[in-house]
């Protein structure tokens, strides 16, 4: 987003902030837990830079629910948690009385559903604020190191990362959302932000 000015970047951050606020509310309802949210941070990075930024030590296996979105701009939205925590998240969602064996069986389905609900909450808000409509594909679950996840999702592309950490405070679980934009979508997003600001300033 090197050609966006400070006000446009501010607008982009704030739009994602509101979208992720809705997403955190959905996650809170799903898990019956309060969710902490960080101030959003926006970066335009190479895939390698993105890997180093998202997991500096490259030593964690992560679970990623990704959803391809398309509209006036397109890309992938990722909800990422350390894999070691995914079963605990599912347990919070489904209740502690479910046997572990049964919980493991539905873990993948449940994580996809969590991703679907959260990412759609986010997109409906962003779409509403930008007066845009986005089509979202079905969520896809991946597990691996961050480099593998990013290589599968957006190989060899510059990626826009809107990083917002979301934490389940009582359980010391921290995940984050990242939005990876396709190169050709940068200009479309820029135009959408310009139009948004034109309305604000009118």
Partner 1 sequence: MNNTLLIVDDSRVSRMILSKVFSSLASDWTVIEAENGEGAIQQAEKHQPSLIIMDLNMPLLNGLDAALILKPKMPNTTFVILTADIQESSKAKVNSLGIHFIEKPITESVVQQALEFWSTEHV
Tell me how far, at minimum, the Cβ of 109 lies from partner 1, in Å: 25
Tell me how far, at minimum, the Cβ of 154 lies from partner 1, in Å: 26
Kind of pairing between the strands at 41-45 and 35-37: unpaired
The residues near 119 (Cβ < 8 Å, ≥ 6 apart) are: 23, 65, 67, 77, 79, 136, 139, 177
CA 152 vs. chain centroid, Å, equals: 16
Cβ–Cβ < 8 Å for 110, 95: no
Interface residues with partner 1 (CB under 8 A)?
Answer: 6-7, 10-11, 13-14, 17-22, 24-25, 28-29, 34-35, 37-39, 125, 128-129, 197, 200-201
Tell me how far, at minimum, the Cβ of 102 lies from partner 1, in Å: 28
Cβ–Cβ < 8 Å for 76, 179: yes
Query: In the complex with partner 1, which residue's Cβ is closer, 17 or 108?
Result: 17
Query: In the complex with partner 1, which residue's Cβ is closer, 10 or 88?
Result: 10
Tell me how far, at minimum, the Cβ of 124 lies from partner 1, in Å: 12
Kind of pairing between the strands at 41-45 and 140-144: unpaired
Query: In the complex with partner 1, which residue's Cβ is closer, 28 or 74?
Result: 28
Query: In the complex with partner 1, which residue's Cβ is closer, 20 or 64?
Result: 20
Cβ–Cβ < 8 Å for 161, 43: yes
* Alpha-carbon span 159 to 150, nearest angstrom: 9
Query: In the complex with partner 1, which residue's Cβ is closer, 19 or 139?
Result: 19
Tell me how far, at minimum, the Cβ of 14 lies from partner 1, in Å: 4
- 187: buried, middle or exposed (CB in 10 Å: 19+, 13-18, 0-12)? exposed
């Amino acid at each position: 987003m090197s050609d966006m000015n400070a006000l446009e970047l501010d607008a982009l951050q704030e739009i994602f902030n509101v979208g992720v606020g809705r997403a955190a509310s959905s996650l809170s309802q799903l898990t019956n837990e309060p969710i902490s949210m960080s101030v959003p941070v926006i970066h335009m990075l190479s895939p390698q830079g993105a890997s180093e930024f998202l997991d500096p030590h490259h030593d964690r296996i992560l679970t990623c629910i990704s959803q391809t979105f398309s509209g006036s701009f397109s890309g992938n939205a990722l909800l990422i948690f350390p894999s070691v925590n995914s079963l605990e998240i599912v347990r919070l969602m489904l209740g502690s009385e479910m046997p572990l064996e049964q919980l493991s069986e539905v873990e993948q389905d449940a994580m996809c559903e969590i991703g679907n609900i959260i990412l759609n909450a986010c997109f409906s808000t962003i779409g509403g604020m930008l007066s845009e409509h986005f089509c979202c594909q079905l969520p896809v679950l991946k597990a691996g190191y961050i480099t593998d996840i990013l290589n599968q999702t957006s190989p060899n592309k510059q990626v826009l990362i809107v990083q917002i950490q979301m934490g389940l405070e009582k359980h010391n679980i921290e995940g984050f959302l990242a939005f990876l934009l396709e190169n050709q979508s940068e200009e479309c997003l820029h135009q959408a932000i310009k139009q948004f600001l034109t309305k604000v300033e009118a």
